[in-house]
Amino acid sequence: MIVAFIVVVAGLFFAYKSFPRQTTLPANANLSVIGAELDQSKDYVDLHQLESNGLSFVYLRATQGKSYFDEDYNLYRDQIQGTRMAFGTVIYFSDQSTVASQWNFFQKKVGANSGSLPILLKPAQGVRKNSRFYRQMGQMATRFLTTNKMVMVLVPKKYQMYFPSETRFLNDEQHVPNKNLYAFWQYTNHGHVKNTKNMEDNVTMYAYNGTMGQYKQLYGELTQ
């Protein structure tokens, strides 16, 4: 009996680990245009598998401050050309480096090919989110806007006074954001993409906060 019980338990555990869990979708929202963030913290991710499993775009981590560059950025940027997914570029904005030094480092490492999605400015971990920081972040956004790039920031809309009027905003709260205030929604940092190796857990996932038609008009093809 004990041996049989162990066999049953082992079988159930294997089935659980092997069963392809469904892709994590936005809760309580009718948002079907979703994407994920990729960086070197994960082993290689097959972009065609992401596309086959319903993702329409990816955000690629690029730089942080004036010296960090993600080693997998160029790899994914090259491979995205073989899919119909759109891509965007993430900058983790630091309070330890000047706006000019972070701008120059980004231009050196990434250049003009940053994707069709808005360049995404996110606060680096541990920064002091005060008026000075938001003002500098706004200066960085201005630099990109003057080169005809779209810019989006992971900042509550109440701080919009520090940013140019053309800036888009990303929401990362649990509830569905107001579509008139936020362009995209970072709806989880603990997502999963089914049937895709190295995307089993702790995936940062995004949803476009609008319709499929609006997304396609602004940013390109859909995988659906």
Has residue 10 been placed in a domain? no
Has residue 160 been placed in a domain? yes
Residue with tokens 């938001």: 134
State which residues form the domain around 76. 33-219
The count of other CB atoms within 10 Å of the CB of residue 161 is: 9
Q: Any idea what the CATH number is for the domain that residue 57 is in?
A: 3.20.20.80
Give per-residue pLDDT as tens, 66-124. 999 999 999 999 999 999 999 999 999 999 999 999 999 999 999 999 999 999 999 99
Average pLDDT value for residue range 174-183: 94
Has residue 25 been placed in a domain? no
**How many domains does the chain fold into?**
1
Q: Write down the pTM of the prediction.
A: 0.89
| Residues pairing with 203 in the sheet | 191
Residue 13 has pLDDT above 60, yes or no: no
pLDDT attached to residue 31: 87
